[in-house]
Amino acid sequence: MKAKSRRSTHCSNCESQLDESFNFCPVCGQSNTTNNITFGILISEFIDNYLGLDSKIAHSLGPFLFSPGKLTNRFQDGKIKHFIHPVRLYLVLSVFYFFVISYLLSFDLRDLGNDDFDVPATAKIEDLMNDSDINSIPDSLKISFVADSLRENFKEIKSFDILYDSLISAYGKEITNQRVQFNAFDLLKSNDEPYIEKAHRLARDRSLTNDAFIDSISNGDSDINLFSKSRNDHAKAQIRKIFVNDQGFKGFLLGNLPLMMFILIPLFAGVLKLIYVRRKHLYIKHIVHALHVHSFAYLMYGISLLIIFKLMEDTALRWITAGFFFILVSTYVYISFLNVYKQGWFKTLIKFNIVGFIYSIFLQIFFYFALFISFWYY
């Protein structure tokens, strides 16, 4: 049998005076009961307050997905408590979108900023090849010495025949004709080494200075002119640091992009204010509209990335899917312009394209700015 709720004469949350007939506090909305908090109440409060999975979702989901601009108009009409707050909606869906990107890039955001990143196996081989004593012995003995050292350092490798077959599979049979070299990372490497792979191995070569590393990847030109030696040295160190741990840099950049996009919201709203300056709309209306259209874009593009990179293999089909979602988002935004600003389709189409062009310029500028900030402070 369900326990009978006991009423109180004061609110346990805000201490306001209550009549025992009140089911809820008229000041803060707290339930008027002196019963102990149950596990069900705890879970319910968590869902309502932190995940927002209450009646607001039922009211918001349909208009948000299928009636572009309706949420903006309702919010502007004063129905603030009836729907999900636009800032909350934006934050939730931006987290979803950037989580999808980080998931597809296959790195753990918990490791961002870890300066000690290194590949253990690579470091062991590098130490072995940088041993000065090796250079004084014949090549045949070098090969034997390397094999013994590999067996000692990599006990998990049970059969070097399997390792040999793996190298053939990865690099081709030409690797068997390659002489064993001991300068930096050149052990068992193909003659056609890609530039990026070369930069990665040289960046991890502890015997190279930053200037020597830049020379090696830039055909002897290590000059970087940033107006001062300290800035030049810092830039060279950062370039090398990125090649040592490019995945970490991608994660660091990705961590800065949500803030960049959030800063773009008021700029996007400012463009709308200028384009619709004669309509006398309040700036806050453009802010709310910008939050809603960006939220929809995050949701659709996040879903599209998962479909394209997890469910599809055919390149042509991927491009078709990407094009479909781009057209879908663009159409949604255009219809939202029609519903929010109440102008004809042709005039709205012109303004929609002008806004899109200006926004794309802002997007590029902010992305390169975020890229520079991430590079300099990584």
- Give the domain-ending residue among 197, 227, 257: 227
Dihedral Cα 351, 352, 353, 355, nearest 10 deg: 80
**Which residue type, as a one-letter code, is found at position 190?**
S
pLDDT at 7: 64
pLDDT tens per residue, range 147-171: 565 566 555 555 555 555 555 555 5
Residue the block writes with tokens 């996040």: 302
158 and 302 both lie in a single domain: no
Q: How many CA atoms lie within 13 A of 35 on its CB side?
A: 16
299 and 345 both lie in a single domain: yes
107 and 253 both lie in a single domain: yes
253 and 357 both lie in a single domain: yes
Give the range of the structural domain holding residue 184, as residue numbers without chain letter.
120-227
- Give domain status of residue 182, yes or no: yes
Which residues neighbour 119 within 8 Å (Cβ) at sequence distance 6 or greater?
204
Closest CA to 130 of 193, 187, 67: 187
281 and 371 both lie in a single domain: yes
CA pseudo-torsion sign 278, 284, 287, 293: negative
Helix (H, G, I), strand (E, B) or coil at 221: coil
pLDDT at 115: 43
- Give domain status of residue 67, yes or no: yes
53 or 111, which is more confident: 53
Q: What percent of the chain stands above pLDDT 90? A: 33
Helix (H, G, I), strand (E, B) or coil at 210: helix
- Give domain status of residue 333, yes or no: yes
